[in-house]
Structure 1
Amino acid sequence: MVIRPSEDAPVTSGLFLAEVLAAAGLPAGVVNVVTNDRADAPAVIEALIAHPRVRRCNFTGSTAVGKIVGRLAGEHITPVLLELGGKNPILVLDDADVDQAAEQSAFARFMNSGQICLSVDRIIVDRSIAARFTEKFLEHVAALAKNGPDSPDAIIGPMIHARAAARVAELVSDAVVKGAQIVFDAGPVDGAFHPPTVLTGVTPGMRIHSEEIFGPVAVIYTVDSEEEAIALANDTEYGLSSAVYTENGTRGLMVARRLRHGSVHINSHTIADEPQASVGGVKDSGFGHFGSDWGAEFFTETRWVTVAAPRAGTR
C-alpha cells in the first residue's frame, strides 16, 4: 500500500497512521507514505496511478481532483474508488421532534468546524415548525461557540489553514450581498479561524447554495411541504449523505426512498457513520463504496479456478 496524504495534513493523514501500523506489528514495506510539495502534486499523482504495479486506486477529496484521478485511472485501466464532496441535506418534517433535530443538526454542521465530507450543508425545515426549530438550533450553536478557538474546551476551532477560512468567508459575503440574512455571527474571521455563522434567505443565485461549504457555516431553508423539501434536497450535483426527521417511521422510509444520496439516516444526522457500513455517494459525490465488506472486495481480485477430475488410469 502507498499512501499519498494531503499536503495540508501529511502527518495526521499519512505519517502518523504508518507509525501506528508499524507499532502494531505490520511488517516493514507493507505500508509506505509518499509526501510532496503542493506544486508537485499533479506529477506525483499521475506517476502513482500510471505505475504498472498499482492495481487499485482509492481517492478521498474534492470532486474537482476526483475527476482528474478518475480520468488518469481510466487511461491506465486501473480500478478506482472515489469518495468526493457533498451538499448533504437534513429534512426536518412537520411532525419531527424539534429538540432532537435542532441539537443533532448543530452537531452535524459544526463538528470539526464543518470540515467533514458528511457534514450537513442544507437544513431544510417545514415552515410550520421553522421558527421553533431555528430558536432551538441557535441555542445549540451559541453553546458550541462559547469557548474561543484557543480554549482547550473549544468545539469549533481553526480550519485547516487561512485559505480555507477565507474561501468560506467569500461564500458568506457573496450570499449576504445577494440578499441572505445572517442570524448568528460569532465574530470576525481571524486567520484560519472562521466563526460559527448561520444564514437564512439563501437562494439558487448564491454560491453557497450550490458549492460545498466545508466550514462552520449553517444554512437554514424553509419550505411549505414535504414535496418541496425533497425537491430541494435533490437539487444538487452531489449525493453523498442525507437525513430525515419525522416521528412517523413509515413516512421517513418513503421520503428516504426518494432522496438521491448514498446514505439516508432517519431521525439521525448526516455524520451518523458506522464502521461496519460502507460509505459511498452518487452523482458528483463519488464512484463506488468503501468500508466494511464492500470496500474489502474492491481491494481484492475475484478469480475463477477449476480443477478437472483425473481420468481413469491416470494420476
Structure 2
Amino acid sequence: MSAPALPDVPTTLLIGGSWRPAAGGATFPVDNPATGQALIEVADAGVPDALDAIRAAADAQQALAALSPAQRAALLRRVEAALRDRTDEIALLITLEMGKPIAESRGEVGYAADFFGWFADEALRIGGDYRLAPTGLTRILVQHKAVGPCLLITPWNFPLAMGARKIAPAIAAGCPSVLKPAEQTPLTSLLLARIIEESGAPPGAVNVLTTSRPAEAVGAVIDSGLARKLSFTGSTEVGKLLLARCAAQVMRTSMELGGNAPFIVCADADLDEAVEGALLAKMRNIGQACTAANRFIVAESLAGEFTSRLAKRMGALTVAAGWLDGSQVGPLIDDAAVEKFDRLVRDALDRGATVETGAVPAIGRFVTPTVLSGVAPGTALLDEEIFGPLAPITTFRAEEEAVRAANGTPYGLVSYVYTRDLRRALRLVGSLATGMVGVNSGVVSNAAAPFGGVKQSGLGREGGFEGIAEYLDTTYAAIPV
C-alpha cells in the first residue's frame, strides 16, 4: 500500500527558539499505522535536552509575560488563521502518522484552531478583584498572574487538538511551555510548533521534546524545580505516577485521564437520533478517544431494535487507509492496540456474548467495527477503556438500574443520555458521576466548554472560561485605606 508523500515537517527539537538535534544525535522512527512502515526519523531527546528545554522556557517567562494581553491575543489569532489556511496539509500529516480518516483529520484541525481563537479572547478577559475589607481599614486587590513554565504532555489520538488545548491557554496566560508529544505522533506537534514560531512567538515560549524515553525526559523536567505546572492527557495509570512525581515539587497539575463512558438509551428515546449519536460517540477517531462510548446501556424494550440498527450501520462502514476516498475507519495506532481489541472480543465471546456484526480477525492494524449483545457482567470490556471500534450492549429495566451500571466504574469523564423527557434528562445529569454529559448528543467536545472528568478520570478543566484559570496563580495585595 503506497501512501501520499509526507508534508514538509521539522524533525529536530525546538529549544529556546532554535531547531537542533538531540544530544548525541539520537533519533527514532515514526510509523504509518496503515502500512506499518516508517515515515521518517525524529530527534530522540534525553535528559540533557529536557533540562535545556525547561531552562529555555524559564528564560522566556519574562518576555512572554511582558507581552500585553492584546499582543498575546494577536499571536493566538495568527496561529488560528495559519491552521485554518493550512488545513489540508496538516490533516494529511495527522492521517499519515495517526491513521484516522482524512475527513476526521480536517475536523481536528478546525477543532484545534477553535482553541487558539477561544483563548485569544480569554487573554483579554483575565480579571481580578478589588474590595474593601470588612473592617474598612484595608483595600483588597486581587490579581491573576501566569503560573510560570509549564510541562505539557499530549497523547497520540488527537495530536494537534490536544497540543492546541494546552498551548493556547498557556500563551494566553503568559506561560512558556515544554511540549512532550506522544512518541507515536510527534510530527504534528513539531509542525504546530513551527507555525507558532512563524506566527511571532518569543523564542522559548514553546519548546518541543520528541523522545522515545519519556519517563527520563519528563522526570528531568519535573525534578528540575523550574516547571511550575504539568498538564497531562493520557492513561490513569501514568497520570498517577506523574502526580506522585509532581508532589515533590508541589507543582500545579491538570490531568485528563481515562474514561469508561456509558451511553444510556431510555425507553422513550428517539431511536433514529440514538443510533446516529451512538455512531458519533463510538466511532469518532476509530473509537480511539477518551470520550468514546464504552458501554451501551439500553432500555430492555428498545434493545433489540437499537442493536439491529447500530449493527447494520457499523457493519456498513468502510475500513481503509485514512487517505483513501471513502475511508470511514482507519487502522488502530499500533500492534498492541490490535492485540487488546482481539483480547476484549475473545473474552466477551467466552463469557457468552453474541456477535451482531464484526469480530473477524484483524488485517494488519485494521480491525472490523464490532457490535456485541448479551454482554455479561464482569466482562473485561465493561471495565476497561476499549479504545477501538467495539460496541458492547447491555440492557436495563428501571432508571435506577441504568444509573448504577453507569456509575459502577472508577472513571467519570463523560456520559451520554438519550431521552425525550426533559425531567428525566435533568435527573440523569444530576445522578451520573461524570464531568460531562451529552444529552441527545454524541459529541461533547467544544473549545468553549470546560472539558474534564471526576473520580479517576482527572483533575481540572480544559477549554471554556475555566481553561485559562489552570494557568494562573492568584496574588492578593493588602493596601491600607
Give the structure-1-normalised TM-score: 0.92
The one-letter code sitting in structure 1 at the alignment partner of 2:408 is D
The one-letter code sitting in structure 1 at the alignment partner of 2:460 is G
Cα pair 1:103 1:136 within 8 Å, conserved: no
Partner residue of 1:139? 312
2:477 alignment partner, SS class: coil
Distance 2:307 2:195 in 1: 43
Partner residue of 2:179? 3
Partner residue of 2:383? 210
Query: Given the alignment of the two structures, is residue 55 of structure 1 paired with residue 228 of structure 2, yes or no?
Result: yes
Partner residue of 1:220? 393
2:476 alignment partner, SS class: coil
2:289 alignment partner, SS class: coil
Query: Given the alignment of the two structures, is residue 70 of structure 1 paired with residue 246 of structure 2, yes or no?
Result: no
Distance 1:5 1:255 in 2: 36
Cα pair 1:114 1:216 within 8 Å, conserved: yes
Distance 1:192 1:162 in 2: 6
Partner residue of 1:25? 200
Q: Structure 1 stretch 190-199 or stretch 60-69: which is displaced more?
A: 190-199
Match of 2:469 among 282, 287, 297: 297
Q: Quote how far apart the aligned CAs of 1:243 are.
A: 1.2
Partner residue of 1:97? 270
Q: Quote how far apart the aligned CAs of 1:218 are.
A: 0.8
Partner residue of 2:48? none
Equivalent residues in 2 for 1:111-190, closer than 5 Å: 111-143=284-316, 145-149=317-321, 151-185=324-358, 187-190=360-363
Q: Structure 1 pair 24/187, CA: closer, same or farther in 2 (3 Å)?
A: farther
Unaligned runs of 5+ in 1: 310-315
Deviations along 1:86-122, whole A, 9 cap, x unmatched?
A: 0001110000001100111012101111111111101
Q: Quote how far apart the aligned CAs of 1:188 are.
A: 2.2
1:67 alignment partner, SS class: helix
2:472 alignment partner, SS class: coil
Q: Quote how far apart the aligned CAs of 1:142 are.
A: 2.6
Q: Quote how far apart the aligned CAs of 1:186 are.
A: 6.6
Q: Quote how far apart the aligned CAs of 1:205 are.
A: 2.4
Partner residue of 2:41? none
Q: Structure 1 stretch 236-245 or stretch 219-228: which is displaced more?
A: 219-228
Distance 1:186 1:124 in 2: 20
Match of 1:256 among 409, 420, 429: 429
Distance 2:375 2:307 in 1: 15
Distance 1:203 1:141 in 2: 21
1:292 alignment partner, SS class: coil
> Between Structure 1 and Structure 2, which shows a larger proportion of strand residues?
2
Distance 2:446 2:318 in 1: 29
The one-letter code sitting in structure 2 at the alignment partner of 1:263 is M
Q: Quote how far apart the aligned CAs of 1:177 are.
A: 1.5
Q: Quote how far apart the aligned CAs of 1:147 are.
A: 4.6
Give the structure-2-normalised TM-score: 0.61
Q: Quote how far apart the aligned CAs of 1:23 are.
A: 2.7
The one-letter code sitting in structure 1 at the alignment partner of 2:467 is G
Partner residue of 2:415? 242
Distance 1:176 1:162 in 2: 21
Cα pair 1:111 1:155 within 8 Å, conserved: no
Q: Structure 1 stretch 73-82 or stretch 287-296: which is displaced more?
A: 287-296
2:216 alignment partner, SS class: helix
Q: Quote how far apart the aligned CAs of 1:160 are.
A: 1.1
Unaligned runs of 5+ in 2: 1-176
Deviations along 1:130-168, whole A, 9 cap, x unmatched?
A: 11111221222133x235346332111001112211111
Distance 2:302 2:379 in 1: 25
Cα pair 1:121 1:219 within 8 Å, conserved: yes
Equivalent residues in 2 for 1:272-287, closer than 5 Å: 272-287=444-459
Distance 1:191 1:148 in 2: 11
Distance 1:180 1:134 in 2: 13
Distance 2:460 2:358 in 1: 38
Deviations along 1:187-225, whole A, 9 cap, x unmatched?
A: 421222121111122223221110000111111111112
Partner residue of 1:198? 371
1:293 alignment partner, SS class: coil
Identity of aligned residues (%): 38
RMSD of Structure 2 on Structure 1 (CA): 1.5
Q: Structure 1 pair 35/202, CA: closer, same or farther in 2 (3 Å)?
A: same
Distance 1:60 1:108 in 2: 19
> Size of the alignment, in residue pairs?
304
Match of 2:460 among 263, 288, 294: 288
Distance 1:20 1:159 in 2: 28
The one-letter code sitting in structure 2 at the alignment partner of 1:8 is Q
